[in-house]
Structure 1
Amino acid sequence: MKIEHIAIWVNDLEPMRRFYETYLGATANDKYTNEQKQFESYFLTFPDSTCRLELMRRPDVQGTPRETIGYAHIAFALGSKEAVDALTRRLEVDGYPLIDGPRTTGDGYYESVLLDPEQNKLELTI
C-alpha cells in the first residue's frame, strides 16, 4: 500500500501552483475544471516521488488555515542538510515566514518549517 495523493483546498490556485513548481520542483498537470461544480484543480508531481499533491479550489470553500485537529504539515525530503539550509534561506529571502529551524530535532531529524503562500506548514527535511 502507498499514499497516492494528498489534497488541500486553496484560495488562489495559480499562485499556489507556481510556488510548488518554483521552490519544490513540482510539475503540474493540465488544470481540471468542472464548471457545473465551480471546481478546479491541479495534480502536482515531485521529482523522485510517487505521491502527488492536489491543489483544489471551489468558491464556496473559504477560510484561512489555522492550527486544528487534522493534517499538520507536508514534509519534503530534500536529500541533504545543505539542501535544507539553501531552500530555507531562499524561501526566507523571498518573504516566506520561517516558523522553526533549521535544527536537529530531539528525535534526530534535521528540518526547518516554513509557510507557503496560504499559510500551510511545509517541513523541509533531509
Structure 2
Amino acid sequence: MFDHTGIVVSDLARARAFYDAIGKPLGLVTADNGEQAFIFGKSKAEPIPYLWVGTLRPSYWADGSRTGVNQMHVAFVAPSKDAVDAFHAAGIAAGGTDHGAPGPREGAEGYYGAFLLDPDGNNIEAAFRDNLPYLHAS
C-alpha cells in the first residue's frame, strides 16, 4: 500500500486515456489536478492512496531526470482474476504495451497478475492475491 506516488508523462491526454481505461476494471478513477496533471485513485471519499500523473517537472527530480528515463513501477490491487484480465485488455486497447500477460507468477503463491507499459514506458501492474482476502474486503 502507498500514500501516493507520481509519474511524469509526455502527453497528458494520451496518459489520461490509458489510465481511464485501466482504472475501470480496478474500480479506480481519474480526477483533474490542474491543467497539467490528474490524480488516479479510488474516489473523493477515499482519496488516499493515489497516483499523481502530470507533465510538470517535479522539484524532487535529480539532475538529468526526464520522462521515461527512470521507469516507474506501480502495482494496483485487483479485486479478482477477471479484473486483472480486463485491466490488461483495456490497457492494450488504450495504447499500452504488453509486458507480461495475465496469469500466475512462479514463486508467488496465490498471485495472479498482469504487466503493461504505459505510453511513456512506465511498468503498470494489476495484482490479485487470493491468499490475502483482506485486500478484497469491501
Q: Hey, what's the Cα distance between the residues in 1 that align with 2:17 and 2:75?
A: 18
Deviation per CA, 1:99-125, whole angstroms, max 9, x where unpaired? 113221211211111111111111111
In structure 2, what is the equivalent of residue 112 of structure 1?
A: 114
Three-state SS of the structure 1 residue aligned to 2:7 is: strand
Three-state SS of the structure 1 residue aligned to 2:48 is: coil
Q: What does 1:70-85 correspond to in 2, within 5 Å?
A: 71=72, 73-85=73-85
1:42 aligns with 2:38: yes
- In the comparison of the two structures, how many residue pairs are matched? 114
Q: Hey, what's the Cα distance between the residues in 2 that align with 1:75 and 1:20?
A: 13
Q: Hey, what's the Cα distance between the residues in 1 that align with 2:123 and 2:53?
A: 15
Give the TM-score normalised by structure 1: 0.71
User: Are 2:21 and 2:90, in contact at CA under 8 Å, matched by a contact in 1?
Assistant: no
Cα-Cα RMSD: 2.8
User: Are 2:113 and 2:126, in contact at CA under 8 Å, matched by a contact in 1?
Assistant: yes
Describe the shift of the 1:49–1:78 C-alpha distance in structure 2 as closer, same or farther (beyond 3 A).
farther
Code of the residue aligned with 1:10 in structure 2: it is V
Structure 1 segments of 4+ aligned residues over 6 angstroms from their partners: none
Give the TM-score normalised by structure 2: 0.66
Describe the shift of the 1:124–1:49 C-alpha distance in structure 2 as closer, same or farther (beyond 3 A).
farther
2:51 to 50, 53, 76: 53
In structure 1, what is the equivalent of residue 134 of structure 2?
A: none
**1:28 shift after superposition:** 0.9
Q: Percent identity?
A: 27
Code of the residue aligned with 1:97 in structure 2: it is T
Describe the shift of the 1:63–1:90 C-alpha distance in structure 2 as closer, same or farther (beyond 3 A).
closer
